[in-house]
Amino acid sequence: MTIVNSNGAQAQEPAAGDDPVEALELYVMPQSGPFRPDQISVPQQDMITAWARSAHADATAEAFTHWDGEGEVPVACARCHSGAGFRSFHGLDGSAPGVDGPVPVGGVVDCDTCHNPGLGEIAAIMLPSGIEHPVKPGVEAACMTCHIGREAGASVTKAVADKADDAPDDSLNFVNPHYALAGATRLGSVGAGGYQYPGKTYSGRFFHARPLDDCVSCHNPHTLDVSEAICLTCHENGSPDAIRISSISFDGSGNVSKGIRTDIDANAALLLRTIQDYAVKVAGTPIVFEPSYPYFFVDADQDGRGDRIDGAPQKYNAWTPRMLKAAYNWKFINADPGAFAHNPHYTLELLYDSVEDLAGPLNLDMAELGIAR
């Protein structure tokens, strides 16, 4: 006889003489056996542990908690600040490509962000410059989706339009390239992430040394750390900070025994000082950088801190086109801590050209500064 249980499912009533309890014993978990969680082998356990300790999995980080007060991640931010947003952006969740609406908070760069089978179908990424660039399907497609920034040199060109180079204009606002721009830096002029001065030539994609041809050639995809063992394949020192690619002293110090990062840091510091000098002598309003939105502030008393009125920070409002271009490049380079490894040539070129452009109205002699391009 057929009976219906409480869930609506049909089952055969035990035949006469059958023991219902005995029949059910086949489905009862044993009191002991290979079912203890600590005894179950998980082949990916080490990788999961490494990921869980990485920045991609840090659910307490500002990158993932910034919108907790609003309860949702905006459309423009969701593709990189939420695994669900990333999948929606590429249509990996079965929807049409594109983030249709805000995404709930609480997500991170989870396993399915980089291990989704659909990533194999992505062959190109649209860059902020408007250039579509091919990518290797898989992990490179995932990395390049988010590590290319939000703006490009074209954004600066559009903002300044045909305004006079040295005239302060309160309608101008700082153009922020965003953060962690490794992909944009690495592409160099091919991606046109930096502001590239007309009449200048710029280095293209930095291929490093084959077969190091993508992000995971150097970075562990789970910990995100750089493998020093990879560096030692070609370099005498496995520490990236100590590696030098040229016998030219780009910062004018004459010391070519230190890593190229030191030259880049020195020239970046010079560029910021030059921007501040220009702000006082040409724009007429002192400026200071602070690592929080909107990044550049008025510093009327030149104490190195942004001015506040009734506790409210005073956003810098005396941008000239020339100053905006240089500040964008400074932020573009400093937003990628690994710029010295991702594309040192492009980085040094942007720094030199930005200083050189500001040097004109400041009557600075580039030869006396001693820096090289």
The pLDDT value recorded for residue 210 is 75
Tokens of 250: 């780009």
The pLDDT value recorded for residue 79 is 95
Task: Give the mean pLDDT of the chain.
Answer: 90
The pLDDT value recorded for residue 5 is 47
Label residue 180 by pLDDT band (50, 70, 90): very high
The average pLDDT across 275-282 equals: 98
Of the listed ranges 6-10, 74-78, 226-230, 307-311, the one predicted with least confidence: 6-10
pLDDT: is 57 or 39 the higher one? Answer: 57
- Decide if pLDDT at 3 tops 50: no
Q: According to the 3-state scheme, what is the secondary structure of 331-365?
A: HHHHCCCCHHHHCHHHHHHHHHHHHHHHHHHHCCC
Per-residue model confidence as pLDDT tens digits over 208-223: 877 788 899 899 999 9
The pLDDT value recorded for residue 188 is 98
The pLDDT value recorded for residue 18 is 58
- Decide if pLDDT at 200 tops 80: yes
Tell me how many helices (H) and strands (E) the chain has.
15, 10
Other C-beta atoms closer than 10 Å to the C-beta of 318 total 18
Share of the chain above pLDDT 90, in %: 78
The average pLDDT across 34-53 equals: 79
The average pLDDT across 178-194 equals: 97
The pLDDT value recorded for residue 138 is 84
The pLDDT value recorded for residue 229 is 86
3-state secondary structure of 313: strand
The average pLDDT across 105-117 equals: 94
pLDDT: is 63 or 13 the higher one? Answer: 63
3-state secondary structure of 204: coil
- Please say whether the beta carbons of 105 and 114 come within 8 A: no
DSSP 179: S
Of the listed ranges 19-33, 57-71, 172-186, the one predicted with least confidence: 19-33
User: Cα(163)–Cα(202) distance, rounded to whole angstroms?
Assistant: 25
